[in-house]
């Protein structure tokens, strides 16, 4: 039997020089002050000081995994996207889950929407679908987003999330009532990332090979079934294991229990959007399934954990403007704002060359993206010697295709700061009321208790009254029960 020979690896500095002593710093004599000439000490401390990059302002606390998406149903009549072109075709993916409001050190089991950001490594480039575990959102215009997040994050003075800030913003944003009803309901705290649905939330555009266009909404239905936590269960779990969702995801994949989701879409012919009864591009609303039924597309499976959470989860960069041929944007105002904001956030956090990192690099082109971007912090592509950094050129550089990714969007009217166009049934409260009426009596009781628990802590009576008016407008019973529950808690 042959013995395995163990080789000794040499510890080196960043420049590759061997390290003589990794236990003792260089000093001026025994017990004397340390020397600035100790390259290894200074380099080691300086590197340690820089181990962390700026955390995401939102979606800071995240988990992720690799897997694949497999097409199960023919959708070529709606899109010519290559990765959706053939039943049975598989595409590698990376999925990042996250909480939204808390910091990187926050607990997983909290009442908060969950991010559901999916990167498809397609043969035509990376396609990023950046959504949540709810089909709607709190606001409909990106100009309100910084204010919304400031109201939900830790207060600059107290250093904690303040009910006064949270509910004051919602009091001035009636369109948030639908999402607040989702958040405060039973699905507000998923039991794990595996046991929740994912949604594209926004409206997107699909274009088929004939140039016909459809507006589309994505629904990833968990194959594990929906499981959620009550407020008491979540508080206990967050104290016992703050990383409970991360732990569950890693352990499930390691033991071969691969989480999966079935993708369905809703499809609206472009011509129907203008006269639909409410604005179909309003992310605070859902499209009723009776109007646009779910159509199955394929199955998403996660089967491999990242080797390094920092390199592959923290540095994973998703941007809604990463489209591929056959898929494009819609006039959804929140989506339009995210087309800029996400990519810009990554340029700040990770640098202008963040797409050269392994988790973000497109697999469609050998050696990474082929364009005329040059240099910048942490550039890893040399493209030196005879490679030109301009276009057009006479030296066989990459050229444009002349083929747009999706169909153009029709525009008209004058520039200006316009409110969203009004459709016949546009309303901020109707769908919140419909969601409430879909709930069982036990679900309603928990919803009322969750809302009252937060709203009763608000110090200003006028803010409480403004929020109560929203629930009354959604449903008479809903408003009455919230008002009674808040009054009872405030009188205690």
**275 catalytic, yes or no?**
no
Residue 287 pLDDT: 98
Q: Determine if residue 395 is labeled as part of a ligand binding site.
A: no
What is the mean pLDDT, run by run of 10 residues, along the chain of 492 residues? 65 87 91 89 86 91 97 98 98 97 92 97 95 96 93 94 96 97 97 98 96 97 97 95 97 98 98 95 97 98 97 96 94 93 92 90 81 75 70 83 85 82 89 97 97 96 97 98 96 80
Q: Which long-range contacts (CB under 8 A, 24 or more apart) does 342-345 make?
A: 342/130, 342/318, 343/319, 345/56, 345/57
Structure tokens at 14: 């960043």
Task: Tell me the Cα Rg of the chain.
Answer: 26
Domain extents in the chain: 62-138+187-356, 139-172+427-491
59 an active-site residue?
A: yes
Q: Which CATH superfamily is domain 62-138+187-356 in?
A: Catalase core domain (2.40.180.10)
pTM of the entire structure?
0.91
Residue 361 — φ and ψ, nearest 5°?
-70, 135
Q: Are residues 420 and 284 in contact, defined by beta-carbon separation less than 8 angstroms?
A: no
22, with CB counted inside 10 A (0-12, 13-18, 19+), is exposed
**Do the domains at 62-138+187-356 and 139-172+427-491 have one common CATH topology?**
no
Inter-residue contact 105 to 238 (CB < 8 Å) = no
CA angle 385, 389, 390 (to 5 degrees): 140
| Distance, CA of 149 to CA of 155 (rounded, Å) | 11
Say if CB 103 and CB 61 are below 8 A apart.
yes
Per DSSP, the residues of 324-360 read -TTEE--S-HHHHHHHHHHHHHHHHHT-TTGGGSTTT
Q: Is 454 helix (H, G, I), strand (E, B) or coil?
A: helix
How many angstroms separate the most distant Cα atoms in the chain?
A: 84
Give the span between the Cα atoms of 440 and 434, in whole angstroms: 12
Cα–Cα distance, 294 to 185 (Å, whole number): 23
Say which of 126, 132, 279, 322 is annotated catalytic.
132
The CATH code of the domain at 139-172+427-491 is 1.20.1370.60
């Amino acid at each position: 039997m042959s013995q395995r020979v163990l080789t000794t690896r040499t510890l080196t500095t960043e420049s590759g020089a061997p390290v003589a002593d990794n236990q003792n710093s260089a000093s001026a004599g025994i017990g004397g002050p340390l020397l600035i000439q100790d390259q290894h000490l200074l380099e080691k401390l300086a590197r340690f000081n820089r181990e962390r990059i700026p955390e995401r302002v939102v979606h800071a606390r995240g988990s992720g995994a690799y897997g694949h998406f497999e097409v199960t149903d023919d959708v070529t009549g709606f899109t010519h996207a290559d990765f959706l072109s053939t039943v049975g075709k598989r595409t590698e993916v990376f999925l990042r889950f996250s909480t939204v409001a808390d910091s990187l050190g926050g607990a997983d089991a909290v009442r908060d929407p969950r991010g559901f950001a999916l990167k498809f490594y397609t043969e035509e480039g990376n396609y990023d679908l950046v959504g949540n575990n709810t089909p709607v959102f709190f606001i409909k215009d990106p100009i309100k987003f910084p204010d919304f997040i400031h109201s939900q994050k830790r207060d600059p003075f107290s250093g904690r999330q303040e009910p006064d800030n949270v509910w004051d913003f919602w009091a001035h944003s009636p369109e948030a009532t639908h999402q607040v009803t989702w958040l405060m309901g039973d699905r507000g705290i998923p039991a794990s990332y595996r046991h929740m649905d994912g949604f594209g939330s926004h409206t997107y555009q699909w274009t088929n090979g004939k140039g016909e266009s459809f507006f589309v909404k994505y629904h990833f239905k968990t194959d594990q079934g929906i499981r959620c936590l009550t407020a008491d269960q979540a508080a206990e779990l967050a104290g016992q294991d703050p990383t409970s969702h991360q732990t569950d995801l890693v352990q499930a994949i390691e033991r071969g229990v691969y989480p999966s989701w079935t993708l369905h879409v809703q499809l609206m012919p472009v011509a129907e959007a203008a006269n639909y009864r409410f604005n179909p591009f309003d992310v605070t609303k859902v499209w009723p399934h009776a109007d646009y039924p779910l159509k199955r597309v394929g199955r998403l499976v996660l089967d491999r954990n990242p080797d390094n959470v920092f390199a592959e989860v923290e540095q994973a960069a998703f941007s809604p403007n990463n489209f591929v041929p056959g898929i494009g944007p819609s006039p959804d105002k929140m989506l339009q704002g995210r087309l800029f904001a996400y990519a810009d956030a990554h340029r700040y956090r990770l640098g202008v060359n963040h797409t050269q990192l392994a988790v973000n690099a497109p697999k469609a082109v050998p050696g990474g993206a082929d364009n005329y971007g040059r240099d910048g912090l942490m550039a890893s592509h040399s493209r030196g010697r005879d490679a030109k950094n301009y276009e057009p050129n006479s030296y066989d550089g990459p050229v444009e295709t002349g083929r747009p990714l999706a169909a153009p969007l029709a525009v008209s009217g004058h520039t200006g700061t316009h409110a969203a166009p009004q459709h016949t049934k546009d309303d901020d409260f109707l769908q919140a009321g419909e969601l409430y009426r879909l709930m069982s009596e036990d679900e309603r009781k928990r919803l009322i208790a969750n809302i009252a628990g937060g709203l009763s802590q608000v110090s200003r009576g006028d803010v409480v009254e403004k929020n109560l008016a929203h629930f009354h407008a959604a449903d008479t019973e809903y408003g009455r029960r919230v008002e009674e529950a808040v009054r009872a808690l405030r009188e205690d």
